[in-house]
Amino acid sequence: MEENLGLTKELRQKIQIVLVEPQDGANIGSCCRAMKTMGLSKLVLVTDRFYDEHRIFTLELHAIDMYKNCKKFSTLPLALSNSNLAVAATRRHGKKRKSSFLSPDDLSNLVNKSSKDDLISIVFGRESDGLTDEEVSQCNSMVTIPTSPDFPSLNLSQAVQIITYTLFKGALPFTGNKKIVTIDKQKEVASHIAGQLEQTQYFKSSNELFHTETFLKDIIGRAAMTEGEVQYFDKIFTKLAQRKIHSIKEKEIYEK
């Protein structure tokens, strides 16, 4: 193995693996082991369940500290609140999901280009049916592992192992210094822009407003915008909306 192969300390610190409502403690243990072999240590569980720790520790094998030090949250938005980028690991695509998706190598490149201070969450769903559309919408993008169409399903820990291995082998020396805004900030700016557009009578329905807001959040996240960039992005739409609102009011006065 080459000496420079593998995750740097900066990369290890900024990647967290998020498991949403895992159904079996054994799979949690297997995921811990998969992460530790690739140099990762930040595990997050989104669940209110209690697990049989014997099943976790049996599969964890020398990675018990991973589970003991993991963070637990009751909802996915809470788990992602401090993240700068969140990527949903899923093989299912559809009109209610993202319009584009990353390959594991694309994800590795994106991680390498981010700042050492960014927090990047990779979100995995339940063993039986993965992530819901709503959970995917909480993330900026999707990552999909190529598999045979004849049997595309992967075990949870297998998926974690493949993604973390790809990050490990694709890791580059840290060169970036760009601080991406958090997901909470991305949501705030997207909501403000959508609100400005709503005042211009841009939307035909509340459903259209929701999808536009989600789209804007995803764009901001995938573009890895800084605080200054999102402010400028927001300002563009605010100015355009103000001009449109002024035009609408003038038209209403004239028609009276």
Question: How many CA within 13 A on the CB side of residue 212?
Answer: 16
Q: What is the pLDDT of residues 151-206, one digit of tens each?
A: 888 999 999 999 999 999 887 665 556 788 999 999 999 999 999 999 888 888 88
Q: According to the per-residue pLDDT averaged within each range, which of 94-98, 184-188, 223-227 is highest? A: 184-188
The residue type at 246: H
Nearest of 207, 71, 83, 197 to residue 138 by alpha carbon? 83
Residue 61 pLDDT > 90, yes or no?
Answer: no
* CATH class belonging to 9-169: alpha beta
Question: With bands split at pLDDT 50, 70 and 90, how would you rate the model's confidence at 251?
Answer: low
Question: With bands split at pLDDT 50, 70 and 90, how would you rate the model's confidence at 7?
Answer: low
CB burial string 34-51: b at 16+ within 10 A, e below: bbbebbbbbbbbbbeeeb
127, 154 contact by CB (below 8 A):
no
Residue 1 pLDDT > 60, yes or no?
Answer: no
Domain borders along the chain are 9-169, 183-255
Structure tokens at 27: 């799979």
Question: With bands split at pLDDT 50, 70 and 90, how would you rate the model's confidence at 3?
Answer: very low
**What mean pLDDT value characterizes the chain?**
87
- Cα separation, 73 vs 154, whole angstroms: 25
160, 120 contact by CB (below 8 A):
no
